[in-house]
Amino acid sequence: MKAKNESKSGAEEFTSSTEGFGANVLVPRLKIRVPDKMVWLIGIICALPVLLNVIGIDFGFIGSKIDPYRITQLYQFEQETALQEILRGRYVHTIFVSISITISFLTILLAFIDYRIKGELNTPIVGVALFCSGLFDTFHVLSATQIIHTQTQQFYLASFTWFFCRLFHASILILGTGIFLARPSAFREESSINRKRTFIWLSVLFVTLTFFTIGMLYLGSDIPQMLYPYRNLARSYDLLPLILYAILGLYILPRFQDRFPSLFAQTLSLSMIPAVATQLYMVFGSNELFDNNFNISHFMAAITYVIPFIGISLNYLETHRSEQSVIKKLNEEVLVRQETEEKLSGILNSSPSAIMAFTTIKKKDGTLDDLIWTIANPALTELFGLNQTILPGKKLSEMLPDTRKEGWFELLNQVITSGDPISHEYYSQAYKKWFYLVAVPLKNGLALTVSDISRRKNAQEELLSAERLAITGKLARIIAHEVRNPLTNIHLAATQMKSELPPSAEASVYPEIIERNTSRIDQLISELLNSSRPEQILTHSCDLNVLVNDARELIKDRMHLKNITLELKLSSIPLEIEADPVRIRTALLNIMLNGIEAMEEGKGKLIIQTSKENNDCLLSITDNGTGIKEEDLPHLFDPFFSKKAKGMGLGLTTTQNIIQSHKGTIQATSQLGKGTTFTLRFPQLR
């Protein structure tokens, strides 16, 4: 099964593969296309011989027509045993040296590939050294077979060029590995550009040195005698390369391998075994061209090139396997990351809390200036009315300007400077909600979670209110029990006294005073009991807009007397609630009358607004009166709490009791000198 994904460039696909390194691994699958330059190069190579022939360059070795009689004589001459031995020796010699040349050329190709993958200099530089040695072997085989003619041609020219081939091979390896042993850290610390420049300069140096040496040998007219067949040590000159190979194998290459460990470095050290064997066969065994030890020596020389080639091939294979392993691990990480991202995305999208992540913008003094959105979840839409898809890249102060006024930035600056997470809850005047903030520092910013805890806070308030009502009810019952009985006796006594005194008596006024005040005390006790007792209500379906209009009619005269303006913003759709109209009107009247009394005559403005929010019906009553002190707000619905000179402090307690009996909530917000808003929330009928 294959799963393909177009990359941005359209040049790469990903395929699911199980070959070699596990199941369901995504590996890049390239749309391979041969470069146009390569097509042109092949065409030029094919056409170039014809063009060279046209300008007079001939690649043939036959200059004139061959005489059949002379060819017959030549074939007869070739039948001689001595000549056949020399020709077979030359052919075998050419084959072995050609293998060495071919392997050296392939080695440098793999060395370049290794350099492109790893970017390390040691492998390609040694590869260039082996390539230069292959160039010298090319000169050796061309001159030994007399394809090219040197200044002096002799039968033992192959021994002369062979000596220089082995000497150059050992010397160039010493040079190629020695420069890394001299300053190994310098090559590791170089930048990519400097490594490339170093590689080019060293390659040019090695190739120039190779062609200079070949040129000197090609143009040299004095070729010394290199082979003495009748001595015990026929090839004494070949002892020098033997010594250099011994130094390489015992000292230089082991240290090179320690400092630059790789399969290529190991096999390079291993290649010194056939290199030394090559010289041993040649120095102590070969007495003549193309004899047994001469051919063995050339075979061993070819093996000297083959072993590093195998090493660099294994090196490339190991790199390829490592890449496969890395791809497998990366694929596993990608799968884990995708799974984690899906889980996080699910959490973010389903969370009722607004979850945000920011990067910071700091001032010169290091304090927080602003925050840039990086992550936002859908809960922001419900909480703040923002579309989370447009938030990344935007500033917090621009999208939520009220947060700066409400102290968010001071709180978040504390998180960034201290590095410790902070939690904080408060009531937002701007958004009319209770918020719970949790801020956690990140590497380059912070994460912020904002939860709407209004329902929980309201539930807590309802619980506290219920507890207060329970205490008040208990107190009211005690008062009713302990006060009403003696109060009744006083009232009865005053009535009896009044009946016994003549109407004209001066003292008859006192029983009347006693009766009025005992009635007033009894009324207050009844109000206290009503405010603390759960409301007994008879409910049915009502439109909240209608109830508001009914209450408005009852306060028209009072508003007219104080010259107060009324602004009514009722919902265009019916807001059906389960309610007792009489009790709800009582609650609304209490709130509206309190607002009218708090406003200045001729300057007052009462705003009444209804709306729907989710499954709730909302009613807000706002005045522009004197307002309420912040420290008084928590006690606003407490029994007997009042700032009025003649107030008993039971009106809002009764109002809260009525609202809660309808499974609703009431909340007050106020600013001193600006006014007060009461927000009532009722569950909507479905």
Mean pLDDT of all residues in 298-317: 89
Determine the Cα–Cα distance for residues 78 and 85; give it in Å rounded to an integer: 10
Q: In terms of DSSP H, where are the helices of 351-438?
A: 379-384, 396-399, 402-405, 408-418
- Provide the 8-state DSSP code for 65: P
Running DSSP on this structure, what letter comes out for residue 633?
G
Residue 406, CB half-sphere, CA atoms under 13 Å: how many? 20
pLDDT in tens, 349-374: 888 888 889 998 888 887 888 889 98
Q: Which CATH number fits domain 458-532: 1.10.8, 1.10.10, 1.10.287, 2.60.120?
A: 1.10.287
Mean pLDDT, rounded, for 548-571:
89
Locate 501 and state its tokens.
Answer: 């005194």
pLDDT category, 2, cuts 50, 70, 90?
very low
> Which tokens hold the place of 685?
């009928």
User: Does the CA dihedral 545-551-556-558 come out positive or negative?
Assistant: negative
Nearest Cα neighbor of 377 from 351, 412, 402 is 351
Could you say which DSSP state residue 39 is in? H
| Helix (H) or strand (E) run with residue 458 in it | helix 454-500
Distance CA 170, CA 382 (A): 79
Residue 647 confidence (pLDDT): 58
pLDDT band at 437 (very low <50, low <70, confident <90, very high): very high
CB-CB contact of 167 with 140 (8 Å)? no
Q: Are 27 and 5 in contact (CB under 8 A)?
A: no
29 class by beta-carbon count within 10 Å (0-12 exposed, 13-18 middle, 19+ buried): middle
> What is residue 630's DSSP assignment?
G
Residue 25 has pLDDT above 60, yes or no: no
The pLDDT value given to residue 544 = 92
Specify the pLDDT at position 617.
Answer: 92
The closest of 586, 599, 523, 516 to 550, measured between CA atoms, is 586
The answer, yes or no, to whether residue 507 has pLDDT greater than 70, is no
DSSP state of 685: P
Task: Report the alpha-carbon distance of residue 356 to residue 447 in Å, rounded.
Answer: 6
State the virtual CA torsion across 538, 541, 542, 543 in degrees, nearest 10.
160
Percent of all residues in the chain with a pLDDT value above 70, rounded to a whole number: 79
Q: What confidence category does residue 516 fall into, taking pLDDT thresholds of 50, 70 and 90?
A: confident
Nearest residue to 660 via CA among 458, 365, 494: 458
Side chain identity at residue 321, one-letter code: R
Give tens-digit pLDDT for 208-264.
999 998 888 877 656 555 544 544 455 778 889 999 999 999 999 999 988 888 888
Whether this model's pTM surpasses 0.75: no
Average pLDDT over residues 426-444: 86
Write out the two tokens for 516: 């009025």
Return the SS3 of 619: strand
Take residue 2 and report the two structure tokens written for it. 């294959």
Q: Quick check: 371 and 361 in contact, CB under 8 A?
A: yes
Instruction: Judge whether residue 315 has pLDDT over 90.
Output: no
CA–CA separation, 134 vs 139, rounded Å?
9
Rounded to 5°, angle at Cα 231 from 228 and 237? 55
Phi, psi of 521, rounded to the nearest 5 degrees: -65, -40
User: What's the CATH code, domain 540-683?
Assistant: 3.30.565.10
Q: How far is CA 351 from CA 155, 364, 431, in A?
A: 93, 37, 20
Q: For the CA atoms of 593, 596, 598, 600, what is the dihedral angle to 10 degrees?
A: -160
Fold of 351-452: Beta-Lactamase (3.30.450)
Model pLDDT, residue 308: 92
Q: Which strand (E) or helix (H) includes residue 17?
A: strand 12-17
Helices 509-532 and 454-500, axial angle in degrees (round to 10): 160
**Closest by alpha carbon to 128, among 91, 175, 160, 87?**
175
Mean pLDDT calculated for residue range 615-635: 87
What mean pLDDT value characterizes the chain? 80
Indicate if the pLDDT at residue 427 is higher than 50: yes
pLDDT category of residue 388 using cuts at 50, 70 and 90: confident
DSSP 474-493: HHHHHHHHHHHHHHHHHHHH
Among 185, 166, 404, smallest CA distance to 279 is for 166
CB 621, CB 595: distance < 8 Å? yes
Give just the sign of the alpha carbon dihedral 235, 240, 246, 252: negative
How is residue 395 annotated by DSSP? B
For Cα atoms 376, 378, 380, give the angle at the middle one, nearest 5 degrees.
70
Answer yes or no: is pLDDT of 42 > 80: yes
pLDDT at residue 138 is higher than 60: yes
The confidence band for 606, taking pLDDT boundaries of 50, 70 and 90, is very high
Average pLDDT value for residue range 192-219: 85
Other CB atoms closer than 10 Å to residue 654's CB: what's the count? 22
Residue 406 reports pLDDT greater than 80: yes
Asked if residues 244 and 174 have their Cβ atoms less than 8 Å apart, the reply is yes
Provide mean pLDDT across the span 90-114.
Answer: 86
Is the confidence at residue 18, as pLDDT, over 70? no
**Arithmetic mean of pLDDT, 47-64:** 75
First to last CA, the chain: 52
Average pLDDT over residues 290-304: 86
Confidence class for position 73, pLDDT limits 50, 70, 90: low
What is the model's pLDDT at position 304? 92
139-148, 376-385, 523-532: range with lowest mean pLDDT: 523-532
Pick the closest to residue 588 from 633, 628, 548, 624 (CA basis).
548
Res 252: pLDDT: 92
Which CATH entry fits the domain spanning 87-326: 1.20.120, 2.60.120, 3.30.1380, 1.20.1070?
A: 1.20.1070
- Identify the sign of the CA torsion 210, 212, 217, 218: positive
Mean pLDDT value across residues 96-104:
87
Residues 6 or more apart whose CB falls under 8 angstroms from that of 478 comprise none
**Distance, CA of 282 to CA of 159 (rounded, Å):** 10
Residue 285 backbone phi and psi in degrees, to 5? -125, -40
Worst-scoring range by mean pLDDT, 105-114, 603-612, 640-649? 640-649
Report the alpha-carbon distance of residue 85 to residue 155 in Å, rounded. 14
Q: Give the position of tokens 């001459």.
A: 77
Residue extents of the structural domains in the chain:
87-326, 351-452, 458-532, 540-683
Question: Judging by DSSP bridges, how do beta strands 445-452 and 540-543 pair with one another?
Answer: unpaired
Instruction: Copy the structure tokens of residue 518.
Output: 């005992």
Tokens representing 460 are 């807590």
